[in-house]
Amino acid sequence: MSKKNYSTSTSLVHPSYQAPQGFAAFPTAIHHASTVLFKDVDTMRARSWHNKSAYTYGLHGTPTSFTLEGQLAAIEGGEHCVLAPSGLSAISLVSLTFLNTGDDVLIPDNAYGPNKEFGEWLKSSFGMSVRYYDPMIGAGVGDLIQANTKLLWTEAPGSVSMEVPDLPALCAVAKSKGVVVALDNTWSAGLALKPFELGVDISMQALTKYQSGGSDVLMGAVITRDGELNKRILTTHMRLGLGVGMDDVYLVLRGLQTMKLRFDAHDQAARKVATWLKARPEIAKVLHPAWEDCPGHEFWKRDFSGAGGLFSVIFDPQFSEEQTDRFVNNLELFKIGFSWGGTHSLCVPYRIEKMRQQWNDQGILVRFNIGLEDTEDLIADIEQAMAKMV
């Protein structure tokens, strides 16, 4: 804008400073916007919010969010990415895109709990059929697929109990019956599992975990290779008005740069702690996909290239819940809290038998998120808390 003699109130909202071209720095600029400006009416009318080569309105993205979407798609070998305000909203976005009244969806019994809770709502309020399947069923899922089945959810490994499904078998059967396969790929961060190579159609991420890495952001993503699937997701995303804040997008972009290093460090540390736990008489099973105790260990070996820092253990049944609660309460470095993927170690006991249609183990299940602390300190912490159990 050329220098004009505006009144104070006008000049307060129209700065006269013209930033010189050529500013260069590493960080992605944070572009906040609701209103996006068009140079003339024809340009405005010619723009489509579907088309991410240009901008229409802040809800549909700014250069900051488009940069993150591009990065996330690339990690997993996808083509398209849509951001959502939390991992859970990314889950509901997928379900609402592919399901109508009268449709059927199959969700693994070990899915992230709120995915099942959302399924219950689809059933009770939207006239959908929602069924939970044994995650280890593999190609047997074909017997469950009906004419109205539109979506097969998968999660690898499943939440809390950590079973690793046979993804290629599940995907092959679903594909042969025209069912869309969505994977909650949060555990691998997209680094240790390349879902599209196994036949998955849609990969969903809770960026709240490793991508952020700071226990300070909630965000989700839905990634696809297929342009038609992406268009359908994008339409639902627009209809629901799922915007994300650009300051949060910036935090995820910042976290992403060190994600591979952090993930590998979590992985190594978790395996050290799990190895120590496995040798302890207090522990009956280590439910870490890299251990044979974990159902689907062979699929993890075949399909994954790493593991991250999240795993569970089952205590020997001689220990009561009162004793394992005391163990968790006496930990000092490990804090008690939900979510994971940050720099701090966490520990949560679960009443797993109440979360599953069928559960056979008698011992108490406790989940560990191994942070970036020194593993010797973490092991010493676990050891002192175990000593107070008896």
Ligand X SMILES: *Cc1c(COP(=O)(O)O)cnc(C)c1O
Q: Does 295 bind ligand X (CB under 6 A)?
A: no
Q: Report 101-130 residues binding ligand X (CB under 6 A).
A: 112
Q: Does 186 bind ligand X (CB under 6 A)?
A: yes
Query: Is residue 375 within 8 Å of 336, Cβ to Cβ?
Result: no
What is the closest distance, in whole angstroms, from the C-beta atom of residue 307 to ligand X in the complex?
A: 14
**221 or 314: whose CB is closer to ligand X?**
221
Alpha helices in 257-374 (DSSP H): 259-278, 297-303, 321-330
What is the closest distance, in whole angstroms, from the C-beta atom of residue 82 to ligand X in the complex?
A: 15
What is the closest distance, in whole angstroms, from the C-beta atom of residue 94 to ligand X in the complex?
A: 11
Interface residue with ligand X, options 170, 198, 206, 256 (CB under 6 A): 206
Query: Is residue 60 within 8 Å of 54, Cβ to Cβ?
Result: no
Q: Report 158-177 residues binding ligand X (CB under 6 A).
A: 159
Interface residue with ligand X, options 88, 173, 193, 234 (CB under 6 A): 88
The DSSP symbol for 281 reads T
What is the closest distance, in whole angstroms, from the C-beta atom of residue 41 to ligand X in the complex?
A: 40
Interface residue with ligand X, options 64, 86, 95, 211 (CB under 6 A): 86
Binding span for ligand X by CB under 6 A among 12-20, 161-169, 205-213, 231-239: 205-213
The DSSP symbol for 57 reads B
What is the closest distance, in whole angstroms, from the C-beta atom of residue 89 to ligand X in the complex?
A: 7
What is the closest distance, in whole angstroms, from the C-beta atom of residue 345 to ligand X in the complex?
A: 16
Look at residue 129 and give its three-state secondary structure. Answer: strand
Please state, in angstroms and as integers, the Cα–Cα distance from residue 352 to each residue in 290, 328, 364, following that order. 21, 16, 8
Q: Which residue is nearest to ligand X (CB)?
A: 87
Residues 101, 125: Cα–Cα separation, whole Å = 10
**Count of other CB atoms within 10 angstroms of residue 70:** 12
Q: Does 137 bind ligand X (CB under 6 A)?
A: no
Interface residue with ligand X, options 95, 97, 161, 208 (CB under 6 A): 208
Residue 341: left (phi > 0), alpha (psi -120 to 50), or beta?
left
Interface residue with ligand X, options 119, 135, 220, 306 (CB under 6 A): 220
Q: Does 218 bind ligand X (CB under 6 A)?
A: yes
Query: Is residue 187 within 8 Å of 308, Cβ to Cβ?
Result: yes
Number of H helices, E strands in the chain: 12, 11
Tell me the site size for ligand X, rule CB under 6 A.
13
Residues 212, 342: Cα–Cα separation, whole Å = 8
**75 or 218: whose CB is closer to ligand X?**
218
Residues 6+ apart with CB under 8 A from 238: 49, 59, 60
Q: Does 87 bind ligand X (CB under 6 A)?
A: yes
Residues 387, 390: Cα–Cα separation, whole Å = 6
**33 or 240: whose CB is closer to ligand X?**
240
Give the residues lining the site for ligand X (CB under 6 A): 86-88, 112, 159, 184, 186, 206, 208-209, 218, 220, 339
